[in-house]
Chains A and B, each alone.
Chain A
Amino acid sequence: MDTIPFEHGLLLASALFALGLVGVTTRRNIVFVLMSLEIMLNATGLVFVVGSSKWGHADGQIMFLMILTLAAAEVAVGLALIIQLYRRFKTVDIDVLSQLKG
């Protein structure tokens, strides 16, 4: 059976990364920013897996496990910060965080 070409995997990963990036910079709701961040992380994980498939090692998949763990921890902390933000400002719009202005 024909394997999916290597380049296609990288392309998909880059597309996902770009989408995530756009989401991070464009969304006003901080929850969606976190979600976009997740997409970016998953895109990098995809690159690892595709690479490990190309060269036949399992290292990439193990790396993917690490990335997932990292993502989980980060989301935990991020959500805690979101709750702090909500308690302080009564909104989840990140544009209120402009006290570094000037």
Chain B
Amino acid sequence: MFESLGLLPTFPLLGFLTLFLAGGFLPRRMIGLIGAGSIGLSFLVALSIVMPFLSGDSEEVRHVVYTWLSVGNFESTFGLYLDGLTVVMILVITGVGFLIHLYSTGFMIDDPSFSRFFAIMNLFVASMLILVIADNLLLLYLGWEGVGLCSYLLIGFWYTDPENGYAARKAFVTTRVGDTSMAIGLFLLFTQLGTLDIQSLLVFAQDRWDIGSGFAIAATLLLLGGAVGKSAQLPLQTWLPDAMAGPTPISALIHAATMVTAGVYLIARMHPLFELAPNVQLLVALIGLATLLIAGFTAMTQHDIKRILAYSTISQIGYMFLGLGVGAWSASIFHLMTHAFFKALLFLGAGTVILSLHHEHDIFKMGGKWRQLPVAFASFMIGSLALAAFPFTSGYFSKDEILIGALAVEGVGLWLWLGGVVGAFFTGIYSFRLVFVVFFGESRGHHDEGEVTGLAMALPLFVLMVLALLGGFIHIPVDNVFSHGAALVATHEEHSVSTFMHAVMIVVPLLGIGVSYLFYCAGVFSVSSLMKLPLAKTLHSFWYSGWGFDYLYKLLFISPFLWLSKVNRRDVVDTFYAGIVVLSVFGNAVSVRSQSGLLRWYILSIVIGIVLLVSLGAFL
């Protein structure tokens, strides 16, 4: 029955083809049915595969559908691989994906390009599924590129506004830098190890490369480059906030629950390689830590509801990278799952708010909305509690595991833990800043709007609320995946963490919530008096701009490139071809003089010709 693994991406692919080719002719209900139904079918297929797998004995399952390339020694197949990690990923992708698709049938109902939306969403889910069930890196790369493409298409969904096109291109080009790094990493792995099949590759690497060997470092660095691009971490995090230009359901699906977790999946999947290069693994943790802090600072200053959530995503994925970097593999995947739940919940709730308030994005133009928008209020409360790791929500368990794992690293472990705790403090602040400003206090605008809901939009929100609250009790079956070799040390051990540290980890987010309450709800402190402090305005605008990365990249890369293209406007390389043209034109100008049109000239030429022929005949 594991042959049905191939069915997983097939349903969304078929959905894509149908909607792409015939979407213009179908009625809305049908489009919604096909679009959301294909993902629902995939979810059922995923369940039907997972149940027997979990109750069976096998650790992994492989199934080859089709041989893609077979050249010399290299063979690449559409081979599918199932183990505990894959189980988590496919359930999250199809499950949360289905809920988001269902929500979109309500959210996007008035949009004229309804069928195009679902077509591309289906293609996205298909690519993401291919990415996670691939058994070789080439097929994974296919899925990787596919999700990048769909992200571009969906960010620029409303293409008539050039700003959206710019955001889409920015996302695509930034992730492309990462993709190139990953491709070079694949070349390196292939030339050194002779195969791209993941499991064989990992075995060969562990046999042939010593810990800390140059090849391991190079390969993992390159793969990390790819992961950093896709997951919007330092230094390639600039595209994610601008990607909020797309419709809210895609921000939920692509930029919160699934695509941005592809980098985390890649590193988790290739974890033996990273264990061979401990320095790079530490780098992963440091990147995660730096990103989560930077994004935390920025999220506190934003006022667009979606941008706050975007920076929050960047920050949370920083936590996942931190977990990967310290060897807490299962904790990171657990956080990936819980993050998918509560972030999707938050984004879909934000979608309800935006839609109900007629596309208002600025939180300071809202206020006191808890009565007007009850379902959204509930979503945001539950989602923010989970995000801020309120005790016993799903986010609490997963974040705790990561931070405990961070403590296990000798040397910098305490600093990593401390950084994570500071990040949790900020998370509490910015998440509840959002809740208090939007839903409490006096209403600053949009007094009369009622909530836009329907069953299609409310049902996913309720399911996600339950998952965000109770998801922490799900035990993910990744023990077998991460319990080989060096990873044995870092999984599910009870670390000797003092009660004091546990208490700190519980209290700090609550402190954050409290600070936010004092500022935005109770009015005890106020932001405007903070802004009067020296340097406050500079700091604020620095943090607001995402720590100046856009400015930096514009200075370093974009402006020189534009200058170069302006200088090369006449295209230096083209002068060779232009030269050929000039030569032919000159030749033509010379030859055309012989066509004078004069009768006597023609007669003369005939005569000369005859004379020449006769003399040739006479003398030869």
| Chain A positions near chain B (C-beta within 8 angstroms) | 21, 24-26, 28, 94-95, 97-102
Contacts and interface: CB of A to CB of B under 8 A. Distances in A.
Interface of B: 592, 595-600, 603-604, 607
Given A94-B600, A98-B597, A101-B596, 6 more contacts: A25-B600, A25-B607, A26-B600, A97-B599, A98-B598, A102-B592
Contact of A100 (B597, B600, B603, B607): B597
A25 B604 contact: yes
11 contacts: A26-B600, A28-B600, A95-B598, A95-B599, A97-B597, A98-B596, A98-B597, A98-B598, A98-B599, A101-B595, A102-B597
Contacts of B603: 24-25
6 smallest beta-carbon distances between A and B, as pairs: A101-B597, A98-B597, A100-B597, A25-B604, A94-B599, A97-B599
Contacts of A94: 598-600
A100 B604 CA distance: 16
Contacts of A100: 595, 597
Nearest to B605: A25
Nearest to A21: B607
Nearest to B610: A21
A10 B607 CA distance: 20
Contacts of B595: 100-102
A22 B452 CA distance: 102
Tell me which of B592, B595, B599, B604 has the highest count of chain A C-beta atoms within 10 A of its own C-beta.
B599
A99 B597 contact: yes
Contacts of B597: 97-102
Contacts of A97: 597-599
Contact of B600 (A95, A99, A101): A95
Nearest to B592: A102
A21 B598 CA distance: 17
Nearest to A101: B597
Contacts of B599: 94-95, 97-98
Nearest to A95: B598
Q: Kindly name the residue among B592, B600, B604, B607 whose own CB sees the greatest number of chain A CB atoms within 10 A.
A: B600
A86 to B, nearest CB: 15
A10 B153 CA distance: 91
A26 B596 CA distance: 16
Contacts of B604: 25
Contacts of A95: 598-600
A43 B603 CA distance: 19
